[in-house]
């Protein structure tokens, strides 16, 4: 356990410092692209309209199991190989793990929305937020753009940081690879439209399962962070909104980190929006909160950074306990 915790501490520091440098991934294929290529290969061959819905479900499940097995054993092979390299292997594994953690990437992308508002351009803010959300953004007003940015930051606090960290602690590099495979599959084929609702069914359901604990753990970290770095009134509000509104989200998991952010910042999140031309009418999270504005994006980024500090401290404590036990 101490080895895993130490590697995670290094990985979090590396990711927070350098993130995913564009110059590297312009020259090399990103590992997540390999997951995407595998998913696409199976989807184009085994998700045909001529198949029955039941058969497409089975094909989607089979494809997911094959890709999960491959991801697990690739992760295991890399871990075993690096284990024999001593401290150099620890550093290399930390570098590999950092690729699948998105602290700096999240701050950079959401920060572009805040920067656009500082420059007085709602159009540029819409363009920036369109890169990180699935809803239509061309007609969003200022508050709706701000809500979208904060929601994305909150949800991806779990999907992009806490969940990868959790699964690395549970199963090491194989667990991290498998989690990212499932998460990538859900983002590619986990839709309820005509094309993917059957073939992507297994991926969407498994994504719900693997994010169940991390989403709630993220909410806990945000609530704790609110008490430590804002005030305990903010923490109490975050807990209240999570308990009241998280279960009303269409996702069984995303509502937890989003509600924690909504309560801690005391802003409304979610509400009505449009996906692929279809209106989705969901209730606001923290309906008594204020309408989100550009300043709240800055506050959300600051809350996210402090939450990542708390996550780092939690892993550090686990590392110290593992050394003693």
Q: What span, in angstroms and rounded, lies between the C-alpha atoms of 210 and 183? A: 9
Print the domain residue range for 252. 2-324
Q: What span, in angstroms and rounded, lies between the C-alpha atoms of 9 and 291? A: 37
In 3-state terms, what secondary structure has residue 62? helix
Work out the number of other CB atoms within 10 angstroms of the CB of residue 53: 11
**Residues ≥6 apart with Cβ < 8 Å to 277:** 136
What sign results for the dihedral spanned by CA atoms 223, 224, 229, 233? positive
Locate 18 and state its tokens: 């350098």
Residue with tokens 């940081």: 161
pLDDT at 66 over 80: yes
pLDDT at 274 over 80: no
* pLDDT of the residue at 279: 62
Top pLDDT among 263 and 274 is at 263
Q: What span, in angstroms and rounded, lies between the C-alpha atoms of 109 and 160? A: 13
Q: What span, in angstroms and rounded, lies between the C-alpha atoms of 47 and 25? A: 30
**Quick one: how far is CA 186 from the chain centroid?**
12
- Torsions phi, psi of 136, nearest 5? -75, 135
- Of 168, 155, 104, 159, give the one whose Cα is nearest residue 270: 155
* pLDDT of the residue at 133: 87
In 3-state terms, what secondary structure has residue 48? coil
Asked if 184 and 36 touch (Cβ cutoff 8 Å), the reply is yes
pLDDT at 276 over 70: no
208-212, 235-239, 246-250, 311-315: which range is least confident on average? 246-250
26-40, 80-94, 246-260: which range is least confident on average? 26-40
- Of 101, 94, 91, give the one whose Cα is nearest residue 19: 101
* Average pLDDT for 187-207: 87
Locate 254 and state its tokens: 């995303």
Locate 81 and state its tokens: 């190989």
* pLDDT of the residue at 1: 84
Q: What span, in angstroms and rounded, lies between the C-alpha atoms of 246 and 14? A: 32
Number of domains in the chain: 1
**Residues ≥6 apart with Cβ < 8 Å to 65:** none
Residue with tokens 């294929």: 29
Quote the DSSP letter at residue 247. G
What is the total residue count of the chain?
A: 325
Top pLDDT among 292 and 137 is at 292
Asked if 218 and 236 touch (Cβ cutoff 8 Å), the reply is no
- Torsions phi, psi of 273, nearest 5? -160, 175
Strand 284-285 relative to strand 273-275, pairing: unpaired
| pTM for the predicted model, two decimal places | 0.92
Per the prediction, the chain carries an average pLDDT of 91
Strand 269-270 relative to strand 284-285, pairing: antiparallel
């Amino acid at each position: 356990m101490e080895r895993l915790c130490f590697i995670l501490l290094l990985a979090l520091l590396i990711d927070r410092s350098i993130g995913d440098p564009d110059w590297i991934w312009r020259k090399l294929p990103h590992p997540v692209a390999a997951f995407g290529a595998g998913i696409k290969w199976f989807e184009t061959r085994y998700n045909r309209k001529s198949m029955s819905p039941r058969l497409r479900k089975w094909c989607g499940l089979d494809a997911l199991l094959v890709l999960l097995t491959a991801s697990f054993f690739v992760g295991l092979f890399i871990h075993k190989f690096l284990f024999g390299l001593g401290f150099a292997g620890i550093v290399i594994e930390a570098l590999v793990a950092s690729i699948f953690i998105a602290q700096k990437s999240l701050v950079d992308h959401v920060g572009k929305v805040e920067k656009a508002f500082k420059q007085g351009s709602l159009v540029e803010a819409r363009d920036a937020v369109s890169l990180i959300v699935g809803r239509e953004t061309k007609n969003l007003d200022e508050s709706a753009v701000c809500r979208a940015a904060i929601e994305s930051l909150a949800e991806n606090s779990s999907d992009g940081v806490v969940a990868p960290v959790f699964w690395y602690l549970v199963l090491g590099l194989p667990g991290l690879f498998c989690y990212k495979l499932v998460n990538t599959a859900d983002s590619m084929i986990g839709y309820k439209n005509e094309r993917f609702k059957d073939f992507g069914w297994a991926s969407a359901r498994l994504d719900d399962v693997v994010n169940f604990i991390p989403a709630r753990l993220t909410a806990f970290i945000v609530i704790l962070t609110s008490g430590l770095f804002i005030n305990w009134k903010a923490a109490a509000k975050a807990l209240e909104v999570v308990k009241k509104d998280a279960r009303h989200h269409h996702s069984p998991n995303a509502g937890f980190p989003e509600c924690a952010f909504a309560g801690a910042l005391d802003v409304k999140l979610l509400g009505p929006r449009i996906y692929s031309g279809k209106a989705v009418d969901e209730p606001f999270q923290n309906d008594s909160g204020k309408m989100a504005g550009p300043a709240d994006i800055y506050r959300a980024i600051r809350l996210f950074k402090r939450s990542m500090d708390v996550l780092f401290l939690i892993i550090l404590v686990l590392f110290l306990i593992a050394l003693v036990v």
